[in-house]
A and B are shown apart, each in its own frame.
Chain A
Amino acid sequence: MSQWVIKGLRTGVKSTRYPRAEETAAGISPGLPTAATLPLEVAQSLVARCPADALELAPAGVDVNLRRCIHCFRCVRGTNSPLGWEHSYEWATAVSGGNDQKRQFGPAFDRSVHILVVDTGDCGACLNEVRQLNNPYYNMHRLGFFLTPTPRHADVLLVVGALTDHMRVPLRKAYDAMPSPKRVVAVGACALSGGIFGRSFMCAGGVAELLPVDVEVPGDPPPPLAILHGLLVAVGRKPPARLHRAVSDSVGNASG
């Protein structure tokens, strides 16, 4: 078996320098649309193109509600007046209302956080991006984040998916079985608002319908670094981003 040891050593270090430094490799994030100042007619046509209600008409142009964006690219492809697009990845925000003392982590959690991942009915994209966090590029162990299969050991409940009828009871049981303090990180447009699945006879339209959410990570799916940012926000090691971008802000400074 020595061949594998040699193979591993020869591969060298692949890990990203994030969060100490910015990651600049190509293809790490699908990016998100940016708010833009536009004439009313153009703004209206773009808002009508968005199937996820992520674009909103503003007095001076188009605002972007990133919580709802599903990266369908309809606001940038097949139109003569595309919105701007930015390739950021620090997208996680802290949700107000998570200020309950019992939910806050102390310094003991700085370098050792155990995470239970629950899929409540997604398409597999968010789940696969969470899995990538354990690959050599992202290697989240180095930051003290560990996946655990049991709620009894978990500090963070990371939820992906639109919350199907069948997953309500298992999710509730998992949350209740976790010791305090605990935090809930909702990952992906479906976990935030139902995404393309919306609210229906089977989908509740977001995890917040059932559990108190502390950190939201938008994206469909959010890339691994955005999820990592969400975990860092959950333990207070990175400042949160803002999710709603308005034309009245200076465009492009919204992440981090």
Chain B
Amino acid sequence: MPAERKQVLDEVAARWNGRVQLSPEDGSESAYRLECEPAELSEVCNWLFSDLHYSFGGLVVEQLTRWELRYVFYGGPGAGWLHVLTHLAPSDYRVPSVSRLVHAADWHEREVEDLFGLVFEGHPRLGDFVLHDDAWHEGVAPMRKSFDGRQPVTHRAPDQNWKPRQIVEEAGAFLMPIGPIYATATGPVHFQLETVGEDVIRVQPRLFYAYRGLEKIAEGRRAEDVLLIAERISATSAFAHSLAVCQAVERICHMEVPPRARALRIFVAEFERLRHHVAAIEGICESTGLAVAAAQASILEEDLLRLSCVLTGHRYLFGLGTFGGLTINLDDSACNRAAAQVREVAEKLSRLERMLSISSSFLDRLEEVGHVSAGEAGDFGLVGPIARASGVSRDMRKAQPYSGYDQIEFEVPHESEGDGYARLRMFFREAAQSVRIISTVGQAVPGGQVRAPEVSFRPGAALGWVEAPRGAALHWIRLGEDGVVDRYRIITPSFANWHGFRLAAENFAFQDFPIILATFALSVHENDR
């Protein structure tokens, strides 16, 4: 056991002297579980989060013989994963809220309250979150096992008297509703912007218009079919999410992934990251009205989409990942050709970056706009390039390496300003690192099979994680007999970053709002699931 983890575990034993039970997580070398009574929960979580600076991964709730609440934390490579567990009797539904101290857990608790009907005592704001108060049947918790997710529900007539909560009471305060259908071709989200004059004082995104109940409809399906669902959480990071599910299932079933498949997974995952970042850059250029730059970036995005299709058969990499490897072998010459084309894209991208960096009217819209401090980013548990733009430089590929990332040389860039321009630079710098990884891996893909022999499923549960293009994605999957899924929990980077989006958008001018939104590169689909 690494010294760092041993030290933490020793200190847990000393501090809580038997009130927190320590045990290794089943089938995992890097995860430890800390079991405690609900009363100790806040203190333990806060100690990990605030004192030891563990990142809060997410909350996994399972309705087993009793309620199991699993607060997942992770640190650097030496620290590994710590799962803080607490249990409730089947008829019990009250648990103390931890989000007063661990603010990153705020939305996780709201989601669980809505979907499972558990109440987090002391949470300041529950209700109207995933399930909209004006449309959903009060008191129906769809994630409970007793609820049949395959049956349609009767649609409640919308409550005509429902009104958003207005907080700002200043003279001249105005609540500006935007969405869920707004602008051209955007994901469905509703914003309530409270303004006083030019400035947006309060930003409240109302999400989950694209809530498809993916965690619920996965239950009772076979693991292979859940892989199809994972690809369709968010198409722009389809491969990343499918990889996370694959790794979870492979962990449960003790499957060895052949070296060739591990290398190709990295190749494709970085390719997807590059495409996502190019699209994010395009979005930022477009939001500022810089049409030629946006067109240049969108040419590169389409080039990469076409290259995806040539390489893997699908423009969004659907149908590529599978348990134990990949469904097709990408031969060496195809990888080399793809890597060469990627380098061409990278050259064009760096020319675009140079031109943008001397376009003062463009920079004026980004610099010192939409600021998020390192402290805020940490408190809200922001992830990915958005967090790294504010100086929080945790990256799953380095913190908890998977698929062989620990054997590859690359850097995780970070910035410190935390403004819109820092986020734009992050996308450029990370894209350059992805190109570097694609070149390195593409040159020397190990030979052999791309897929392990036939899967033999076992019952069990495990966590799979990846650094998706937008940040850390955690998938918890519990398999029953014959590879049938009993519980599937999807924790996405967009969920974390939407939570913190208001930090950036508040107290800036109304006309900055769409630009700040673009610099966050958020996905509604990835958030809503």
Contacts and interface: CB of A to CB of B under 8 A. Distances in A.
Given A27-B310, A74-B319, A223-B315, A127 B216 contact: no
A46 to B, nearest CB: 15
A119 interface: yes
B265 to A, nearest CB: 16
Contact of A135 (B180, B233, B302): B302
Interface of B is mostly: loop
Interface string B496-516: 000000000000000000000
Interface string A118-151: 1111111101111110111100000000011101
Given A124-B236, A200-B217, A27 B308 contact: yes
A129 B235 CA distance: 11
Interface string B285-315: 0000010110110110110011111100111
Interface in B323-379: 327-328, 355, 358-359, 361
A164 B184 contact: no
Contacts of B327: 73, 77-78
Contacts of B224: 51
Contact of B310 (A26, A117, A161): A26
B308 A119 contact: no
Interface stretch (A201-209, A233-241, A245-253): A201-209
Contacts of A162: 212
A119 B210 contact: yes
B135 A165 contact: yes
Interface stretch (B44-52, B185-193, B422-430, B436-444): B185-193
A14 interface: yes
- Interface band, chain A: 35 or more
A71 B314 contact: yes
B235 A135 contact: no
B225 interface: yes
A230 to B, nearest CB: 15
A5 interface: yes
A108 interface: no
Query: What 8 A-B pairs are tightest by C-beta distance, nearest first?
Result: A27-B306, A125-B235, A27-B309, A135-B298, A147-B184, A123-B232, A202-B213, A121-B210
B316 to A, nearest CB: 5
Given A3-B355, A165-B136, A197-B217, A119 B188 contact: yes
A27 B315 CA distance: 7
B152 A30 contact: no
Interface string B263-300: 00000000000000001000000000010110110110
B209 A166 contact: yes
Most interface-central of B153, B298, B315, B322 (chain A CB within 10 A) = B315
A11 interface: yes
Contact of A123 (B153, B234, B305): B234
Contacts of B212: 121, 162, 164, 197, 200, 202-203
Interface stretch (A36-44, A55-63, A168-176): A168-176
A221 interface: yes
B139 to A, nearest CB: 15
A137 B295 CA distance: 10
A54 interface: no
B142 interface: yes
Contact of A198 (B155, B158, B217): B217
B421 interface: no
B181 interface: yes
27 contacts: A7-B296, A11-B295, A11-B296, A11-B299, A27-B306, A28-B306, A29-B309, A30-B313, A31-B313, A51-B225, A71-B319, A77-B327, A119-B185, A119-B210, A121-B210, A125-B232, A135-B301, A137-B299, A149-B182, A162-B212, A166-B135, A196-B228, A196-B232, A200-B216, A202-B216, A203-B212, A203-B213
B183 interface: yes
A227 to B, nearest CB: 11
Contacts of A195: 232
A239 B297 CA distance: 33
Interface stretch (B68-76, B98-106, B143-151, B244-252): B143-151
Contact of B210 (A28, A132, A164): A164
B495 interface: no
B390 interface: no
B395 interface: no
A26 B355 contact: no
Contact of B359 (A4, A73, A136, A198): A4
Nearest to A129: B315
Given A30-B314, A135-B299, A197-B217, 20 more contacts: A1-B361, A3-B355, A28-B306, A51-B224, A71-B314, A73-B318, A78-B322, A117-B185, A119-B187, A121-B212, A124-B526, A129-B315, A135-B301, A165-B135, A165-B136, A174-B181, A197-B214, A199-B152, A201-B147, A202-B211
